[in-house]
Each structure stands twice: as structure tokens, then as C-alpha cells.
């Protein structure tokens, strides 16, 4: 397999920072050659609250991935989460230029500029302006208008924004770790790249990335996103409830959640007992696994009710493909079944697929955003919207990932 480019994705989450280095072949396949995963310190609900600690976490993940791959990371696609991520849809229209009245790239770019010239508060930063579709002389549903005869061209766009302060602090942390930013990518859109099928996107589907501190939600219709939002709840809320309800530490509550937790009460026996250490008691005590499941089920049900409200606010019956759950907290036993019951639509849990290389321990829903960032980068290269990173062979321990101009495919 001939290597065509090297891409880097860095997911800065509430509980972990993951840096992945991937090689892209000429055929477009991805192989992970470096990975670094370290606990995240200095973040709360996906937002930087301590610059120095966050820089240390990012630098640690980057260092691990560099040592494994033999590359030195120069730049990366970086995921953005936190409850300050929001979206709006906008439409722009222009008259088609030229005496032949054929739509060209300049017409599309002008329409995009008109669409993005909506009023956005000064405390918000634009992450994405994504074309959803085109209208050519009143004809809707046009995906690619280039070369079409037309007098008027309209474009529908999905604009994703984030709090300017949060974005600048994240960018400052990444740059302080000696990494340039290729693009800041909304976490839910990155996750969607590796867990959604084209059919689901066309039919109408939601991807809900349930992380430790937040749920990154994106709704798709006709192949493109039309709503992107972040909910301020996540797996940590379940852990906190367990710690309070069982009077134990957060560390033990997290372990109980992962090892013995379930959202499906029907699968847990009443007489299934677990020994737990209790705060202030040296001996600890024995608790029923059904008590753990009841606490988890109550909190997860609340999360799914929040998701249902957001989806219904966008319109009833517009997501026939249902909801795809991903992220670390989506791995709880019974999550899909409870989601189907509460939201009354198809629900499945999905993780990354179709990628090779150093995939041990990361081919699961907890790493969908990190791997999705590599897919996002590969797609940007293929469309010619991003620079290409040529890689020099490693000299000694480290090589150098350099940026140059070009497209992914010849």
C-alpha cells in the first residue's frame, strides 16, 4: 500500500485526550500508526478551565503517539465539544455571472459568502459553514450545481458556532503543545464520519456522542447536518449519582458503573450481590446489583428524555433511521434498549470501523471522535479543501510531518 499523506487527529475530551496519527493510502484507506491516550486534566464538560493542566494533557497524548509512530506531529485536526457549541441554518442567493449563465465555482463561493453573512454575536466563533443543498432557478434538491445553466443560484447552509472564549482557550492549549491547528471540528460531526452510513444520513438520523461531561448531538437529513448542539450531561452524571446513592467514592462508583452497570433492569437479578467500600466505614458493605442498575437507569432515562426533546423540537418523524449512540457512556449494557423505549425510534450503539493499524483498545465507541477526525481530514484532502502532509522517513527516533500543497487523489 503506497502512502499518500499523514493526518493527525486530537480529541480533547472531558475525561481523556486522544492523539492519533494516521496514514492515508492512495485508495483512501486509513491506517493508524501512532496513538496516545492520557487522562484529561484541566477540562470541565469539554471546556478548558486550566490552561497549564490541559497543555500538559495534550502534550502527553502527542508524545505517546509520536513515540509509537516515529513521526513528529506538526499539525492536527482538533475536536471541539462543550455546551457552547450551537448551530443555525442560513440561505444565500446570487445572480449567476458570465454571459453563458453557467454556474461556476466562483458563483458557489459568492453564494456561500452571502449565506454566512448572517448575524452572529461577537462572542461566538464560526466553526463550520456546511453546504446542505442548492436551489437553481427554483429547482430544489440540487447537490452539485456546477456547469448547470441558471440565472439565480441559492445555497442552503448549516452554520456551526462555538463560544469564542472557549475556542480560543482550546486553540491556545493546542498551540502551546507545539501543534498547529488544521481545522477545529465539532465533535459530533467528527463522530458521525465513522459511525453513520450514507443511507442513514439520507433518510434522516441523529448521532449522539455520550461522553463523560457532555452529549454531542448532530441531526442529519438528506445527507447533511441540519442541527448541531451539545447537552450538558454525560457519563460523569451517572457516576456522581452512584457515588451519592451508594455513599462511596467517585473512583469506586466509576468502576462499579463499568464493571457491573446496566440500564436494563430486566437483565439484573435481585440476589446478585457486590461488595463495596463505603466512605467512613473500614469494612464496607454488600449491595445488590439491582440497586446500581436502578440508579444508572434513572439517570440514563433522563438523558434520553433530553435527547427526545431536542429531536422533537427539530420536527416529528424526520429521523426514520433513528439515533446512533456512540461515545464512552454509550457502552453501558442496555443503553440501546432503553433509548428505544424512551425515544420511541430505532436506536443502535456504534463504534469506529474500517480502519487498520494500531487499533488495539480504540475500536470502540469511546474513540469515535478521535478516529472520526482522521476521516474528516481524509475527506477534506480528497475534496481539495485541505493541505496535504507529506511525511519524511524517520531519522533516528523521530521523523517530521511537513505540510505541502496538493490533493489526496491524483
Q: What are the structural domains of the chain?
A: 86-163 (3.30.1490.110), 197-349 (3.30.420.40)
**What pLDDT was estimated at residue 191?**
96
**What pLDDT was estimated at residue 20?**
96
**What pLDDT was estimated at residue 129?**
92
Give CA separation, 115 vs 34, 149, 181, 208, in Å.
39, 21, 25, 27
- Asked if residues 30 and 226 have their Cβ atoms less than 8 Å apart, the reply is no
**How confident is the prediction along the chain (410 residues), in pLDDT tens digits per residue?**
556 789 999 999 999 999 999 999 888 789 999 999 999 998 888 889 999 999 999 999 999 999 999 999 899 999 998 878 999 999 999 998 877 788 888 889 899 989 988 888 889 999 999 999 999 988 888 888 988 988 999 999 999 999 999 999 999 999 999 999 999 999 999 999 999 999 999 999 999 999 999 999 999 999 999 999 999 999 999 999 999 998 888 998 999 999 888 998 888 887 788 887 766 566 677 888 999 999 999 999 999 999 999 999 988 889 999 999 999 999 999 999 999 999 999 999 999 988 989 888 899 999 999 999 999 999 888 776 554 444 333 322 222 222 322 222 23
Residue 143 DSSP one-character state: S
Q: d(Cα 314, Cα 227) in Å, to the nearest integer?
A: 8
Instruction: Categorise residue 105: left if φ over 0, alpha if ψ from -120 to 50, beta otherwise.
Output: alpha
- Asked if residues 62 and 10 have their Cβ atoms less than 8 Å apart, the reply is yes
Closest residue by Cα to residue 262 from 334, 168, 351: 334
**What pLDDT was estimated at residue 269?**
83
Closest residue by Cα to residue 64 from 33, 34, 27: 34
- Asked if residues 196 and 224 have their Cβ atoms less than 8 Å apart, the reply is no
Closest residue by Cα to residue 189 from 271, 265, 130, 259: 130
- Asked if residues 38 and 31 have their Cβ atoms less than 8 Å apart, the reply is no
Closest residue by Cα to residue 349 from 365, 368, 369, 371: 365
**What pLDDT was estimated at residue 217?**
96
Q: How many CB atoms lie within 10 A of CB 395?
A: 9
Dihedral through CA 249, CA 255, CA 256, CA 261, nearest 10?
A: 140
**What pLDDT was estimated at residue 275?**
80
**What pLDDT was estimated at residue 52?**
94
Q: Which helix (H) or strand (E) holds 16?
A: strand 16-25
**What pLDDT was estimated at residue 409?**
28
**What pLDDT was estimated at residue 389?**
44
**What pLDDT was estimated at residue 99?**
76
Q: d(Cα 128, Cα 120) in Å, to the nearest integer?
A: 13
Q: d(Cα 270, Cα 147) in Å, to the nearest integer?
A: 67
Q: d(Cα 121, Cα 94) in Å, to the nearest integer?
A: 25
Q: Parallel, antiparallel, or unpaired for β 205-210 and 323-326? A: parallel
Radius of gyration over alpha carbons of the chain, in Å? Answer: 23
Beta bridge partners of 8: 21
Q: d(Cα 359, Cα 365) in Å, to the nearest integer?
A: 13
Amino acid at each position: 500500500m503506497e502512502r499518500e499523506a499523514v493526518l493527525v487527529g486530537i480529541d480533547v475530551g472531558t475525561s481523556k485526550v486522544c492523539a492519533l496519527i494516521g496514514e492515508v493510502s492512495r485508495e483512501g484507506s486509513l491506517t493508524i500508526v501512532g496513538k496516545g491516550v492520557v487522562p484529561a486534566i484541566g477540562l470541565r464538560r469539554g471546556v478548558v478551565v486550566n490552561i497549564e493542566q490541559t497543555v500538559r494533557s495534550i502534550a502527553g497524548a502527542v508524545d505517546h503517539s509520536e513515540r509509537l509512530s516515529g513521526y513528529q506531529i506538526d499539525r492536527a485536526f482538533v475536536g471541539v465539544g462543550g455546551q457552547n457549541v450551537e448551530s443555525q441554518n442560513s440561505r444565500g442567493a446570487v445572480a449567476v455571472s458570465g454571459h453563458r449563465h453557467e454556474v461556476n465555482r466562483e458563483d458557489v463561493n459568492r453564494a456561500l459568502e452571502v449565506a454566512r453573512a448572517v448575524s452572529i454575536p461577537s462572542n461566538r466563533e464560526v466553526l463550520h459553514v456546511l453546504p446542505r443543498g442548492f436551489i437553481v432557478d427554483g429547482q430544489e434538491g440540487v447537490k452539485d450545481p456546477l456547469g448547470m445553466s441558471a440565472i439565480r443560484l441559492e445555497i442552503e447552509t448549516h452554520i456551526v458556532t462555538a463560544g469564542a472564549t472557549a475556542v480560543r482557550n482550546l486553540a491556545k492549549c493546542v498551540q502551546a503543545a507545539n501543534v498547529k491547528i488544521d481545522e477545529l471540528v465539532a465533535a459530533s460531526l467528527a463522530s458521525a464520519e465513522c459511525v453513520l452510513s450514507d443511507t442513514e444520513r439520507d433518510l434522516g438520523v441523529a448521532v449522539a456522542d455520550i461522553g463523560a461531561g457532555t452529549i454531542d448531538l448532530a441531526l442529519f437529513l438528506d445527507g447533511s447536518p441540519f442541527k448541531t448542539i451539545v447537552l450538558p450531561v454525560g457519563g460523569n452524571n451517572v457516576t456522581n449519582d452512584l457515588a451519592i446513592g451508594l455513599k462511596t467514592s467517585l473512583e469506586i462508583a466509576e468502576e462499579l458503573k463499568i464493571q457491573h452497570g446496566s440500564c436494563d433492569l430486566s437483565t439484573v437479578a435481585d440476589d446478585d450481590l457486590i461488595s463495596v467500600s463505603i466512605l467512613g466505614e473500614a469494612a464496607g458493605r454488600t449491595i445488590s446489583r439491582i440497586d446500581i442498575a436502578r440508579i444508572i437507569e434513572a439517570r440514563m432515562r433522563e438523558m434520553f428524555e433530553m435527547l427526545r426533546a431536542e429531536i422533537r423540537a427539530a420536527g416529528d418523524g424526520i429521523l426514520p433511521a433513528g439515533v446512533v449512540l456512540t461515545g464512552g457512556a454509550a457502552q453501558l449494557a442496555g443503553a440501546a434498549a432503553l433509548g428505544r423505549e424512551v425515544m420511541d425510534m430505532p436506536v443502535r450503539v456504534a463504534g469506529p470501523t474500517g480502519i487498520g493499524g494500531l487499533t488495539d483498545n480504540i475500536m470502540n465507541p469511546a474513540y469515535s471522535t478521535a478516529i472520526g477526525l482522521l476521516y474528516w481530514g481524509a475527506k477534506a484532502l480528497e475534496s481539495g479543501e485541505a493541505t496535504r502532509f507529506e511525511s519524511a522517513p524517520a531519522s533516528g527516533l523521530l521523523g517530521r510531518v511537513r505540510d505541502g500543497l496538493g490533493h489526496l487523489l491524483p
